Amino acid sequence: MALCAPLSVEDQVVQPMVDASPAKWHLAHTTWFFETFVLPEPVFDPAFAQLFNSYYEAVGPRVDRPRRGMLTRPSLERVHAYRAQVDERVARGLAEGVLDPARVELGLHHEQQHQELILTDAKYVLGTQPLRPAYRATDRGASSSPAPLGWRSHDGGITQVGSPGGFAFDNELPRHDVLVHPFQLATRALANAEVQAFVADGGYRDPRHWLSDGWTTVVREGWTAPLYWHEDALYDLAGVRAIDPAETACHLSYYEADAIARWLGARLPTEFEWEVAAAPLDPARGNFADDDRLHPRRDGALFGDVWEWTQSSYSAYPGYRPLAGALGEYNGKFMSGQQVLRGGSCFTPRGHVRATYRNYFPPAARWQMTGVRLAKDAA
């Protein structure tokens, strides 16, 4: 609710592209999730079962994703009433000890995921319309040059990956051994300076840097720079301003991440290389949504700032078992055509991510808060 406060009613209802769901829908869908999977039965409005089901085939029919932005009814006000009732029922159920704590926890993590999406999608709503209004004002500080790009070496070997315990999504399980070859990981994500150099070198016009599907996308979509760049300026949630070369670059697709890495003579890390490097670190240290910057900054933390594309496609761990019932659709059915991203971003709630956390998006997606950290084989 707080994330939606800077948005007008109008901002919360439209869907400017199929992937960017309205904020009202996010509010209602996360409430629906609690009502469907956490509470004993839905009571608020029988129609909502269909209206706010996202993709759970086993739960029943639902509004087609591209039509989420047509739902002017129920009103935002009524969705707020829905949340209030469900919040109250969950609080009561917790107090009475009648709810499954694992389900409540899952509902909260699901909620956090949609908190990130509210920011991501609101940025798309605001940043792609002609007036490009700010979400809210922030002082960004002066532009500067990025720190030099260093490398940190990691030994290889057999190592365990996947959740060691505590809350985890099913796709982080089971914990298992993998063999990682010695590698180097960059000390920071790529900054705008490196992307500006790629642009200046004609990188968006030279097919030799690109994966075949990536080049097809560049040509079809007319990409000439990251999303939200307009010549020397960019749009962020505070409005339009000059590009700061030192800031971590964001809104890059996997295709762009891969092309820029190749152009720089490096590559993207595998998801396990990333996990090995991140495992010893504190996942709460970094630039997260709670910092209210809502834009990457210029530090080298592995967590926060931007989701970092990996060269690993999203697939099941050996021995993977989806959750039982409809919740089995939460993650497992998306295991094709997507790349794994790691680390969380400045749109992610602090505390939501961990070293084993696996985010995933299709390689052409660039409206997410996504960036690039380079890797290399060991020297």
Query: Applying CB under 8 A, which residues contact a second copy?
Result: 8-11, 13-14, 16, 24, 47, 50-51, 55, 57-58, 63, 67, 69-76, 125-126, 128-131, 133, 158, 176-179, 181, 207-208, 210-215, 254-255, 258, 267, 311-313, 315-316, 318-319, 333-337, 339, 363, 377
Single-letter code of the amino acid located at 365: A
Q: 125 exposed, middle or buried (CB, 10 Å; 0-12, 13-18, 19+)?
A: buried
Residue 131 or 142 with smaller CB distance to a second copy: 131
- Shortest CB 150 distance to a second copy, Å: 22
Under 8 Å CB-to-CB from 13, ≥6 apart: which residues? 22, 24, 69, 71, 72, 76
- Shortest CB 19 distance to a second copy, Å: 14
Residue 76 or 355 with smaller CB distance to a second copy: 76
Residue 97 or 130 with smaller CB distance to a second copy: 130
- Shortest CB 96 distance to a second copy, Å: 33
Residue 206 or 290 with smaller CB distance to a second copy: 206
- Shortest CB 73 distance to a second copy, Å: 5
- Shortest CB 11 distance to a second copy, Å: 5
- Shortest CB 367 distance to a second copy, Å: 14
Answer for the pair 286, 302: CB distance below 8 angstroms, yes or no.
yes
Residue 125 or 294 with smaller CB distance to a second copy: 125
- Shortest CB 1 distance to a second copy, Å: 17
ω before 174 within 30° of 0 (cis)? yes
Residue 180 or 190 with smaller CB distance to a second copy: 180
- Shortest CB 377 distance to a second copy, Å: 5
Provide the 3-class DSSP secondary structure of residue 199: helix
Residue 183 or 288 with smaller CB distance to a second copy: 183
Single-letter code of the amino acid located at 262: R
Residue 215 or 263 with smaller CB distance to a second copy: 215
Q: Return the residue matching tokens 């504190």.
A: 282
Q: What are the distances in angstroms from CA 27 to CA 39, 244, 327? A: 17, 33, 19
* 179: number of Cβ within 10 Å: 9
Distance CA(54)–CA(354), nearest Å, equals: 25
Q: What is the spatial order of strands in the sheet that 359-361 belongs to?
A: 359-361, 339-342, 307-313, 370-371
- Shortest CB 213 distance to a second copy, Å: 5
ω before 148 within 30° of 0 (cis)? no
Report the sign of the C-alpha dihedral through residues 27, 33, 39, 45, in that order.
positive
Distance CA(156)–CA(293), nearest Å, equals: 36
Structure tokens at 209: 């840097």
Q: Return the residue matching tokens 């997260």.
A: 288
Residue 279 or 364 with smaller CB distance to a second copy: 364
Q: For the chain, count helices (H), then strands (E).
A: 8, 12
